[in-house]
């Protein structure tokens, strides 16, 4: 009996000890005694008054729109559970108990920069959600190749852009077609990989067939044309980059017959004459309502009605309607001269991408969308954008702006011109945008294409090592 009483006494002592230990452990937790809020033009601040400073951890989820702030071994003694916020950045703040943690969940209208800090005497922790900020992060990808990530948040929202400063004395810039030909489309990363490029951006406007909408010249050969005089980016034989307007004038002459060329490597229309070269495809793909002349070394070597093979060392002249009638007497063996003129300095340029409109001219924002007859699909509103600018030191600035997503609202053409000017560009021209806007560096997709995946495009501008 005595032994039993001793065991009961020992158990009672142990029970009291456990209760005391539990009480001490509970009392060891940090206590949040107050939560305060303030909102200004630049930031939204939440302050936590604590009896001692706890450890904390921050996690960002939901594509940057939710911040989770976890305090270890902390109790919320304020009674706050949820707070509806009337602020354009912070939508809602919730205070939760999660296991042994006190969790603060902050829901944002869009991603934003934040800072968490501890202060003493008295002890408190605060988090600042930045409403307006500007951040530039640069890295040298290779000597003479610098990538800058630019993030800005202002009253309009959040903007994310990627800019690649290319030393054109070290690197070659040149257009590349999807799969190496006009027909069909390919992703920017695919075109980059096919050519072992150091970097690439999307380039020309294009049709679903892959046909390029704009004048393109690759290694001295015109591979597509435009129906309007529009802005272009080019590379001269000495590697110097140029921008300006370019127009195409071409003719086919046989004897006394002179017929204008309506396009290069494009769909043949009514009463049109189109020139097809090896950059188009293996054959012209035309219907039987025209006539086609295979031309090599200035002479007609074959005449067909449709879908003629395109020789690597020649061209095919495809005519319909009035153009067909004008060339009706031309025979195999006749001389046929092809003349193409795109003016100065473009005749001498080795590489050309006809795009547009202009964004910057001589250091001033100058958007020429009306003069170049661009519609609202290009010129209207904020959108993902791609552009190329010239820097005073002879470098080229490749620029891609994300848009149509929570991490970036995109740019108007005027805003894009102003952004490139802020990075030192003196002249700049707009490329195709929207879901096509993409930049690839070292084979990796750097930006966030607005389609959620890569769009297949007609062409890209490559950054290549000089041979």
Helix (H), strand (E) at residue 354: strand 351-354
Strands (E), 372-458: 385-390, 396-401, 427-430, 439-441, 444-445
What are φ and ψ of residue 12, in 5° steps? -65, -40
Strands (E), 155-266: 157-166, 171-177, 199-202, 205-206, 212-213, 216-218, 221-224, 230-235, 241-246, 249-254, 257-260, 263-264
All domains in the chain, ordered by first residue = 30-131 (2.60.40.3500), 137-247+345-465 (no CATH), 249-340 (no CATH)
Whole-number pLDDT of residue 349? 98
Cis omega (within 30 of 0) on the bond before 330? no
Among residues 59, 62, 64, 49, the alpha carbon closest in space to that of 130 is found at 64
The pTM for the full model equals 0.83
391/293 Cα distance (integer angstroms): 45
**Consecutive 10-residue runs of the chain (467 residues): their mean pLDDT?**
55 47 58 92 92 95 93 92 83 88 92 93 95 93 98 91 97 97 97 98 97 97 94 97 97 97 96 98 97 98 97 98 98 98 97 98 97 96 98 98 94 98 98 98 98 98 94
Whole-number pLDDT of residue 112? 87
Whole-number pLDDT of residue 5? 57
Whole-number pLDDT of residue 28? 77
Question: Can you read off the two tokens belonging to residue 386?
Answer: 């791609």
What is the per-residue burial (b if ≥16 Cβ within 10 Å, else e) of 291-307? bbbbbeeebbeebbeee
Whole-number pLDDT of residue 27? 52
Whole-number pLDDT of residue 99? 77
Question: Can you read off the two tokens belonging to residue 408?
Answer: 């970036």
């Amino acid at each position: 009996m005595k032994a039993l009483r001793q065991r009961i006494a020992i158990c009672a002592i142990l029970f009291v000890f456990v209760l005391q230990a539990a009480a001490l452990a509970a009392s060891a937790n940090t206590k949040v005694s107050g939560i305060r809020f303030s909102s200004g033009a630049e930031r939204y601040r939440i302050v936590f008054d604590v009896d001692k400073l706890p450890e904390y951890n921050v996690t960002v989820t939901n594509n940057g729109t939710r911040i989770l702030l976890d305090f270890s071994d902390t109790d919320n003694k304020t009674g706050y559970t949820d707070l509806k916020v009337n602020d354009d950045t912070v939508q809602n703040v919730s205070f939760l108990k999660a296991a042994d943690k006190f969790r603060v969940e902050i829901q944002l209208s869009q991603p934003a920069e934040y800072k968490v800090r501890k202060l003493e005497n008295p002890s408190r922790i605060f988090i600042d959600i930045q409403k307006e900020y500007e951040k530039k992060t640069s890295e040298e990808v290779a000597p003479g190749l610098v990538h800058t990530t630019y993030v800005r948040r202002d009253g309009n929202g959040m903007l994310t852009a990627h800019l690649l400063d290319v030393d054109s004395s070290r690197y070659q810039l040149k257009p590349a077609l999807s799969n190496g030909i006009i027909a069909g489309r390919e992703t920017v990363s695919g075109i980059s990989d096919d050519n072992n490029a150091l970097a690439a951006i999307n380039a020309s406007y294009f049709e679903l067939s892959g046909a390029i909408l704009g004048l393109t010249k690759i290694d001295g050969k015109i591979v597509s044309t435009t129906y309007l005089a529009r802005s272009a980016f080019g590379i001269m034989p000495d590697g110097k980059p140029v921008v300006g307007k370019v127009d195409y004038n071409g003719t086919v002459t046989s004897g006394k017959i002179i017929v204008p060329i309506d396009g290069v490597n494009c769909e043949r229309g009514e009463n049109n004459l189109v020139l097809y070269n090896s950059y188009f495809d293996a054959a012209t793909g035309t219907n039987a309502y025209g006539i086609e002349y295979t031309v090599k070394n200035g002479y007609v070597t074959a005449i067909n009605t449709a879908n003629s093979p395109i020789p690597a060392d020649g061209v095919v002249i495809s005519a319909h309607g009035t153009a067909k009638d004008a060339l009706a007497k031309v025979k195999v063996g006749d001389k046929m001269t092809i003349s193409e003129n795109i003016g100065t300095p473009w005749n001498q340029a080795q590489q050309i991408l006809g795009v547009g409109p202009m964004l910057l001219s001589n250091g001033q924002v100058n958007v020429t969308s009306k003069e170049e007859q661009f519609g609202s699909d290009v010129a209207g509103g904020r959108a993902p954008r791609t552009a190329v600018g010239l820097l005073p030191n002879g470098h080229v600035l490749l620029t891609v702006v994300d848009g149509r997503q929570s991490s970036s609202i995109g740019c108007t053409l005027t805003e894009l011109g102003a952004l490139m000017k802020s990075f030192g560009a003196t002249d700049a021209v707009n490329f195709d945008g929207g879901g096509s806007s993409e930049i690839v560096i070292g084979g990796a997709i750097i930006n966030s294409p607005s389609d959620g995946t890569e769009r297949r495009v007609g062409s890209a501008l490559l950054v290549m090592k000089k041979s």
